[in-house]
A = this chain, B = another copy of it.
Amino acid sequence: MSETTKTAEAFELTEELRQSPFMRACRREPVPYTPVWLMRQAGRYMKEYRDVRARHTFLEMCKQPEVAAEVTVYAAHRLGVDAAIIFADILLITEPLGLDLEFAKGEGPVIHNPVRAAEDVKRLREVEDVSSLSYVFDAIRLTRRELRPDLPLIGFCGAPFTLASYICEGGGSKNYVNTKRLMYTDAGAWHALMSLIARALSRYLNAQIEAGAQAVQLFDSWVGALSPDDYREFVLPHTREVIRNVMPGVPVIHFGTGTAGLLELLKEAGGDVIGLDWRVRLDEAWQRLGDVAVMGNFDSIALFTTPDIIRQRAEAILDQAANRPGHIFNLGHGILPETPVENVVALVEAVHELSQR
């Protein structure tokens, strides 16, 4: 355990946490039932979250540790899941990088000074220390104090490509024209940008771990926009750098969507657990990946049906996992805002019940 207690203030991994189903599954050890948590489990689909959100902007929620901790803990306890994930946003890291981030009403995140060329990369800042993100670490410490002591807490970041895509586009995108134009026409500037992001992320993730996260996840949500060759050349080395720099002994979940053509390369980039979306069969994907744990891969949209249908579809995924050690149940992407909360609870219960060994 010494790896996770590098500094005096770092959280020490208890035996209770170490032996939790989630942590055991990350290490591909047998579990009494399949652990489950859900991406965006603390989110707008939940009335209690909307009540808090009504009193704060989204960025305020991220930046006030008591608020972030409250929604994190509430969601995990309410749903009965096997892990919590800290309430935060993948774009918070863009602020210390020197980018002007705003969550504009109704249009999602906006970066007012996007990167379009080499000179824009040069004006970004090296994130030497991550103290300007101390609100995230404070939220983790607070959460760790309030969370059930047997529930692991997951820290996270955006993966370099997904962050670069927001930074180049100035927000969300459909076609990634600016991102790919930089990538294809100025490989030097592209790699400089990715490398800068990667260094910042390594520091950021390790600081989350020191504050009390038992595992970390990289969200490469939009990586499915890339061809395998472009991924290998322009993305893989940087994602690998981030994952390699995570403190030894701390499980890393490496997640992306639209990755049916990229799975082997995602594994090559690293991670103890590969997060799958619903566009692949879990058994076939796991077969291709080999010796690694997997997370997934329930289609979030099926949460708009009924508990019976949800149960059937959960069972189909558990059947594919076939009790092979190393499966963490999750969605293929995040919970949508309009999802009925009772269906989310029904999914968690179904997974626990159907997977009892």
Residues of A near any B CB (own CB < 8 A): 175-177, 180-181, 184-185, 224-230, 258, 260-262, 278-281, 284, 299-302, 304-306, 309, 313, 316, 336, 338
- The smallest C-beta distance from A315 to any residue of chain B, in angstroms, reads 13
A227 engages B336 (CB within 8 Å): no
Q: Who on chain B is nearest to A306 by CB?
A: B185
Q: Who on chain B is nearest to A320 by CB?
A: B229
Candidate in A177, A279, A300, A305 with the most chain B CB atoms within 10 angstroms? A279
Candidate in A181, A227, A300, A304 with the most chain B CB atoms within 10 angstroms? A227
B302 engages A184 (CB within 8 Å): yes
Q: Which residues of B contact A336 (CB under 8 A)?
A: 175, 177
A309 engages B185 (CB within 8 Å): yes
CA distance A278 to B305 in the complex (A): 33
- The smallest C-beta distance from A297 to any residue of chain B, in angstroms, reads 8
A177 engages B301 (CB within 8 Å): yes
Contact A299/B228 with A258-B258, A258-B279, A261-B260 known, Cβ cut-off 8 Å: no
CA distance A261 to B279 in the complex (A): 6
- The smallest C-beta distance from A231 to any residue of chain B, in angstroms, reads 10
B175 engages A281 (CB within 8 Å): no
CA distance A132 to B309 in the complex (A): 40
CA distance A175 to B40 in the complex (A): 15
CA distance A357 to B95 in the complex (A): 54
CA distance A228 to B284 in the complex (A): 11
Q: Which of B229, B260, B300 contacts A281 (CB 8 A)?
A: B229
CA distance A260 to B224 in the complex (A): 10
Listed by A's residue number, 15 A-B pairs whose Cβ atoms lie within 8 Å are A180-B301, A184-B313, A185-B305, A185-B309, A224-B258, A227-B299, A228-B280, A228-B281, A229-B316, A230-B299, A258-B260, A260-B260, A260-B262, A261-B261, A261-B279
- The smallest C-beta distance from A236 to any residue of chain B, in angstroms, reads 15
Contact A181/B304 with A278-B227, A279-B227, A281-B228 known, Cβ cut-off 8 Å: yes
CA distance A227 to B228 in the complex (A): 20
Q: Which residues of B contact A306 (CB under 8 A)?
A: 185
Q: Which residues of B contact A305 (CB under 8 A)?
A: 181, 184-185
B338 engages A177 (CB within 8 Å): yes
CB-based closest 5 A-B pairs? A260-B261, A260-B260, A180-B301, A261-B280, A261-B279
CA distance A258 to B330 in the complex (A): 21
Q: Which residues of B contact A261 (CB under 8 A)?
A: 260-261, 279-281
Q: Which of B185, B301, B309 contacts A175 (CB 8 A)?
A: B301
Q: Which residues of B contact A229 (CB under 8 A)?
A: 281, 316
Q: Which residues of B contact A180 (CB under 8 A)?
A: 299, 301-302, 304
B279 engages A224 (CB within 8 Å): yes
A227 engages B181 (CB within 8 Å): no
CA distance A128 to B180 in the complex (A): 46
Candidate in A261, A309, A336 with the most chain B CB atoms within 10 angstroms? A261
CA distance A176 to B333 in the complex (A): 14
Q: Which residues of B contact A278 (CB under 8 A)?
A: 227
CA distance A208 to B188 in the complex (A): 50
Q: Which of B176, B228, B301 contacts A301 (CB 8 A)?
A: B176
